[in-house]
Amino acid sequence: MTGLSDIRRAGLCTDCGTNGIFAAQRCRRCYTAADVTISCSRCGAQSRATPGRLRLCGDCHDLQPQLLSRWLDNRSSVRNGQLPTWFFTAATEWVTISHSKQVIRHLLRVERLILAGVCTPDELLATLSREPGGRSTAAILGDFFTRHGVPTDGPDAAVDAWRQGRLDRLPARLQPAGQQFVNYLVSQQRRTLLYGGASLSDKTIAYRINVLLQLADHLDTRGVDDWAAVTAEDLETFLTVNTAQRIPALRDFFAFTRRRKITLINPAAHLRRSQRKGYAGLLINHTRQRQLLHRWQRDDTDPRERVVGLLCLIHAASNEDVRMLSLDDIDLDRATVRLRNRRHPVPLDPLTVEAIRVCLQQRPTTATDNRFLLVTHHTRQHNRPCSIGFPVRALTKVGVTPQALRQTRLSDLAQRADPRMMAEAIGITKEAAAHYIIGNVHRAEDAFPGAGDQPPKEHDE
């Protein structure tokens, strides 16, 4: 390869006649004025010629390891022996996978901290992670420490000892893969933390190890002593309890062993957690409903609380329905209101009519022109609906939410009536209506005692 001294010679510039030492017989000013375009001698890309780059484009020039060598030779900290030996090992490794200029940026950050007295690996990583733009340096430095086993004095020593103690309980033929898997999880955890993302917690990693121990005991009863001999049938018989927690651990482990060629197939690839069908949310029991209705009959209760509670519990109104209920939607003469997503006016019961009437009677005291029924201290000054959280706060004293009241009413209607009729009346889909009657018998009996106690009627023959 042609050296730098071979192309820089003393002489006169061919363009301006200036005497000096030039590359390609032109001074820098003439190169800039001429804007010469060359083909890179390494990759063939067209780029603007720059003196001293050996007819290389910018990317190929930055890839030259000689740049890092010259930079290290010119550092006073290197000549004075102020840097640890691993610093040069890291520089040699990083220059093979990245541009020399990018490696120099990382090394400059590390060098500055070392000269400032931050010398231990833990302190370096913690300080780099807090600096602007230092997370990437902390990440690659953390990977370097992990690969070379540079000792750290962090609080993870007790956790590592616990993990190793659990892994030692694995059978001899299963230990190597388990150790590699845990090391992979720990390295991923550290990398993610250095980059500032959400990572696996120590508790999750501990549960992964426990699942491997439980699986190893299960395989021992089936006479399997090698991860490569595990089949999907073995895993299915193992998934009798804690399915939701075991499936992610098994899928993660066997995907790792498949990538590392420890197993030829991934027996957990087709494992799926069966989704629970039917409604399994909160329902309010019959006794509690009676207590709420008695409270909302009293005149000393806030009328806004009464309106929100009665509309949600009796008429299955949603939070949005209550918020958007305007004065134009209310017809007390006919005892009806218009709710969103309802095709027809909703007939009201006497309790709800009385609550709405009291709420309307208090509006003159607020001196507002707001067109919505529910008026707060803030909304009385404009013409917008109340916030999403106001109906929830209105029911805080009784310990329920509009959503729980609405779900209780929907479940009641679905259990007692035809779900298709309920879907048409409430304005929801038929699938959503059927959601409240599938797998919900025990909850329905708890919430609505007597719903299924009536004996079937005998037909006259």
pLDDT reported for residue 461: 34
- Nearest-angstrom CA–CA distance, 104 and 239: 52
What pLDDT score was predicted for residue 338? 92
**What DSSP string runs through 121-145?**
HHHHHHHHHHSTT-HHHHHHHHHHH
Residue 83 and residue 37: Cα distance in Å, rounded? 42
Could you give the maximum distance between any two Cα atoms of the chain, in Å? 125
From first CA to last CA, the distance across the chain in angstroms is: 109
Q: What kind and span of H or E run contains 86?
A: helix 85-94
The answer to whether 450 and 288 are in contact (CB under 8 A) is no
- pTM higher than the cut 0.75: no
Q: What is the pLDDT of residue 31?
A: 61
Token representation of residue 427: 């304005």
User: Pick from 212, 195, 193, 196: which is nearest to 252 by CA?
Assistant: 212
pLDDT value for 217: 92
Reduce the DSSP state of residue 11 to 3 states and report it.
Answer: strand
Q: Could you state, in chain order, the average pLDDT of each consecutive group of 10 residues for the chain (461 residues)? A: 50 72 66 60 59 57 65 74 78 72 81 81 78 77 73 59 86 91 84 67 86 92 90 88 85 92 90 66 86 92 92 91 91 90 89 92 82 87 87 91 90 82 83 71 46 42 34
Residues 6+ apart with CB under 8 A from 197: none
Pairing of strands 37-39, 19-23: unpaired
Q: Give me the pLDDT at residue 364, please.
A: 82
CA 57 to chain CA centroid, nearest Å: 41
The answer to whether 310 touches 346, Cβ cutoff 8 Å, is no
Residue 326 is given by DSSP the state B
| C-alpha to C-alpha distances, 35 to 7, 26, 38, 47, 258, nearest whole angstrom | 19, 12, 10, 10, 54
pLDDT for 347 equals 92
Strand partners, 326: 372
Residue 309, pLDDT score: 93
Q: Could you tell me if 43 and 57 are in contact, meaning their C-beta atoms sit under 8 angstroms apart? A: yes
